[in-house]
Structures are given as C-alpha cells and as structure tokens.
Amino acid sequence: MNIILVGTQWGDEGKGKIIDILSAQVDYIVRYQGGNNAGHTVVVGDREYIFHLMPSGILHKKKICCIGNGVVIDPLVLLSEIKAIKKAGIDIKGRLKISTLAHVILPYHRILDCLRESKRKNKIGTTGRGIGPCYADKIIRCGIRMVDLLNPEVLSEKLKDNLKEKNEIFKKVYRHSGYDFNPIYKEYLNYGKLFSPYVSNTAHLLNQAIIDKKDILFEGAQGTFLDIDFGTYPFVTSSSTTSGGACIGAGVSPVKIDKVIGVAKAYTTRVGEGPFPTEFSAGFGKFMRERGHEFGATTGRPRRCGWFDGVAVKEAVMLNGISELAIMKIDILDGLKEVKVCTAYKYKGKLFKEFPHDLEVLTNLKPVYKTLAGWPKMRFKPRCLRDLHPNARSYLKRLSDMVKAKIALVSFGSDRKDTISLD
Ligand code: IMP
C-alpha cells in the first residue's frame, strides 16, 4: 500500500510519531517537500530524535529512505544529521537515497531569507533557513540541484551566473557585501563528493518499488494551511504541503496512491505570523503552551495555541483526500472544565462554513464555537477507545463528524506506546 501522510493544520501536528509508527509497516519512506524548516520529533524509549531533513523512517532498520526531488536540501544540515545517526549506531549504508533533482540551499539563500524578512512590513515569521529563496530560484530556473554538485563545470557556471545577479541585489538593495565565488564553489563541490554515494534517480527507484509491490510512505512536512496555494497566503511556506505535492515531489503518479492519512492535534497550534481564527487569549494560550510543550522543534519559538478548528480541518480533509485521521495530544486537554470546537466563522454578520480565502476576512473573523464538557485527567494509560472518559470520546466523535473523516488513531503521549488504534 502506498500512503501519503499530511498535516491538516499549520504544521507541528505530531506527524513524526505517526510516520515512525507507519514506517514499521512499509518498505520505503519518502520526504517530498520542504527542507530543514521542518522538525519531526520521534521518541524511542528514552531517546528523542529530531529530524529536519532525514526521513524519520531511518530509525527502522532495513527501510529505504528517500529525499525526493521536491525537497530543498541544506547540505550542511543533512551532513550533520547523517553524522548524528551514524553516531547513534544506526547503519544507513544503502538505505539513504537523495534525488539528483533536489534543489540545494546556498549561503545566499539563508541570508536573503532573513534580509527579505527584515524589509517586509508584514513579516511572515519564516524559519530563516533559506527555504523561500531556494524554491524561488527553482521556479525562476536558476536553482542548483544535487546533480549539479556532481559536475564541476556545471556547478561553476551556474554558481557564477547566480552570484553575478545576486551580488548586485545584495549590494544595491540590501547594502550587503555579497559572496565570493571560490569559497562557495569549493564547499559545494566537496558536498557533491560527500553526497555522491547517496544521490540517484529516486523517481526510478520508487516506481520500480511499486512494480515490485513494495509499500511506500510519503511523509509530508509542515501542514495544509502552510501550503503555497491553499494556505493562509502569504503567511505560508514555499512548497506544496498538501497530498498532491507528494506526486510532484517524488515523481510518482497519483494513480499509484492508495490512501491519504491526515494528522491533527486535538487543538491547534501555529508558529510564525498570519491568521489563526481559533487562537486562545494570551493568558490561556501561555497556560496551554506550557502544558503542551508547544515550542518549535526547529527554531524553539513559542507556538501560538488555539481550539480545534473544525472548518479548517474539514477543508484539509477535502483538499488532501484524507480518509483517516490521527488525533494527537488529546491528553493536553485533560482536566479542562470545558473544551471548544470551532464549527463556523462569522464576519460582518455573514456565516462562513468553508475556509475563506480573503485575508481580510481570515484576519478579522470571529470563530463560532460548540462548547463540550471536559474530562478529568486520565489515571491510567488507555489501551482502547473504551478506556477514554466518555466526554473525551464524545469530543472525538464530534471532531470526526465535523471534518468528515474517520479517526483511526488517537495519541496521548510522545512514546510509540502512548497510542490507541481505532481500527
Ligand atoms: P519558511 O518555511 O521558513 O519560509 O517559513 C514560512 C512559514 O512557515 C513560517 O510561518 C514558519 O513558521 C512556518 N513553518 C515552516 N516550517 C514549519 C514547520 O515545520 N512547522 C510549523 N511551521 C512551519
């Protein structure tokens, strides 16, 4: 079975844990978009791993992990993850495959990301990792790809071309001294040598795997509302985070996909700027942030927290073709007197049951809530749905009915064992 796993909110839904669980059941795990703006946390026993680029499935012996053509790669970050994994005693020989077509983040992308952000009136709150500028170069057709690092002449020509234009922009627009060719050329040529054992045509590899009846998990990064098309633009990331991105970012046809699984937190979080209809008030937000340890895995920034947004997740279910949902961190709502679910939005007297696209509406609307009774803190670890308090079960049923997707899994802790399967 070929499964795509996506986030249904603004990222940080807890995809890392579900990817880790599903990885045990498949042969190949593929990252298909984003870069080291992502941070997937996986807890195994008393060890915590945070991956930014490496597919989290690497922790499972014998699984093949691919970084697809849709990913943007900061070589230094990937190298340090490879090093850390090897140090943890995990053998990656023959298991890590990097697409020849994946674009590479260069030092000027990182700086441009920060400089552009500093000039913007309405800041996006990017991770500052150079993601947007790297994707921009890809789209305007001057990007440098993994395969280019393996060819000294091509790399030299492309880098010279890029620096000529970019150094003018640096100097004239940002009053920055720009970059010299030689140090970057040497550094990236060396990355080419270091990565060459891993670089290959991953689209061929994956399509052959499908012919051989192998199972593939496509792991999405970020979330639906950070999607470049369907997210709260311009407060989004620069890639297609929705399920369609998996086909483009891996080179696998949509007809080969069997299922799309969505991941949602039992509440909502968002890092960075932009509309967030169900955001808590400052005081309660701080309380929930500390309770849920809601700090970014990549930048450590405090995450904004809010109630579950049924309108948004329903939209995500539709956009991604989600049939099954994993609901994460239900335990963080334990002990609250009441819990709320957003069922619609209101703006200037008009009721919105669908996610609006107009930024003015999105920014100023008021959520319409259904308030449900809370439930006490769990005294023991639930093993099945029946072990959950009836009010927690009602809450889950309400979410599932609202967003029109079956809840297949409920998670109440970071450990692999802290999970209830509802199949
Ligand atoms: P960028 O992807 O660094 O350009 O950041 C654009 C927006 O996406 C910012 O609001 C970031 O905080 C947000 N973002 C990017 N990656 C993640 C993620 O993995 N989790 C949550 N938010 C993210």
195 by DSSP, 3-state: which?
A: helix
- 31 plus 120 within the same structural domain: no
Ligand 1 centroid, distance to 39 Cα (angstroms): 10
Ligand 1 is surrounded, with C-beta below 6 A, by: 10-12, 37-39, 124-127, 129, 131-132, 221-222, 226, 235, 237-238, 271-272
Model pLDDT, residue 45: 77
Size of the chain, expressed as the number of residues it contains: 423
- Return d(Cα 61, Cα 59) in angstroms, integer: 6
Question: Which residues make Cβ contacts (< 8 Å) with residue 273, sequence separation at least 6?
Answer: 122, 123, 124, 125, 235
Over residues 187-235, the pLDDT tens digits come to 999 999 999 999 999 999 999 999 999 999 999 999 999 999 999 999 9
Q: Which long-range contacts (CB under 8 A, 24 or more apart) does 46-54 make?
A: 47/88, 48/414, 49/88, 50/297, 51/16, 51/81, 52/77, 52/81, 52/298, 53/77, 53/78, 53/81, 54/78, 54/81, 54/82, 54/85, 54/96
Whichever domain contains 173, its CATH number is 1.10.300.10
Whether the full predicted model's pTM is greater than 0.85, yes or no, is yes
Model pLDDT, residue 233: 97
292 by DSSP, 3-state: which?
A: coil
- 172 plus 218 within the same structural domain: no
CB 378 within 8 A of CB 386: no
- Return d(Cα 30, Cα 4) in angstroms, integer: 9
Model pLDDT, residue 46: 81
Using a 10 angstrom Cβ sphere, with 0-12 exposed, 13-18 middle and 19 or more buried, the burial of residue 371 is: exposed
Instruction: Give the residue numbers marked as catalytic.
Output: 12, 40
Range of the domain at 23: 2-102+198-261
From residue 124, give the alpha-carbon distance in Å to each of 11, 119, 235, 236. Answer: 15, 11, 5, 8
- 269 plus 397 within the same structural domain: yes
Question: Which residues make Cβ contacts (< 8 Å) with residue 129, sequence separation at least 6?
Answer: 35, 36, 37, 74, 105, 110, 113, 298
- 371 plus 227 within the same structural domain: no
Q: Which atom of ligand 1 is nearest to the CA of 273?
A: 10
Residue ranges of the chain with per-residue pLDDT less than 70? none
- Return d(Cα 216, Cα 64) in angstroms, integer: 9
- 8 plus 149 within the same structural domain: no
Nearest CA to ligand 1 atom 1: 126
- 45 plus 134 within the same structural domain: no
Instruction: Give the domain-ending residue among 166, 195, 224.
Output: 195
Whichever domain contains 323, its CATH number is 3.90.170.10
Model pLDDT, residue 130: 98
- 204 plus 326 within the same structural domain: no
Q: Which atom of ligand 1 is nearest to the CA of 127?
A: 3
- 86 plus 109 within the same structural domain: no
- Return d(Cα 23, Cα 282) in angstroms, integer: 38
Model pLDDT, residue 379: 85
If one counts the domains in the chain, the total is 3
Among 117, 222, 228, say which to mutate for ligand 1: greatest number of ligand atoms within 8 Å of CB: 222
The one-letter code for the residue type at 281 is: S
Model pLDDT, residue 42: 78
Strand spans (E) along 307-400 = 308-309, 324-328, 338-347, 350-352, 366-373
Instruction: Give the domain-ending residue among 244, 261, 278.
Output: 261
Whichever domain contains 255, its CATH number is 3.40.440.10
362 by DSSP, 3-state: which?
A: helix
Question: Which residues make Cβ contacts (< 8 Å) with residue 407, sequence separation at least 6?
Answer: 324, 325, 326, 327, 396, 399, 400, 422
Helices (H), 175-273: 181-195, 202-211, 244-250
Beta bridge partners of 50: 41
- 204 plus 95 within the same structural domain: yes
- 123 plus 62 within the same structural domain: no
Write down the residue that tokens 């999405």 correspond to.
220
Model pLDDT, residue 317: 98
Model pLDDT, residue 40: 80
Among 13, 116, 126, 235, say which to mutate for ligand 1: greatest number of ligand atoms within 8 Å of CB: 126
- 206 plus 159 within the same structural domain: no
Compute the C-alpha angle 216/219/225, nearest 5°: 140
Among 19, 33, 237, 328, say which to mutate for ligand 1: greatest number of ligand atoms within 8 Å of CB: 237
Instruction: Give the domain-ending residue among 216, 244, 261.
Output: 261
Model pLDDT, residue 422: 86
Model pLDDT, residue 263: 98
Model pLDDT, residue 350: 97
Model pLDDT, residue 281: 96
- 108 plus 163 within the same structural domain: yes
Nearest CA to ligand 1 atom 12: 272
Model pLDDT, residue 120: 93
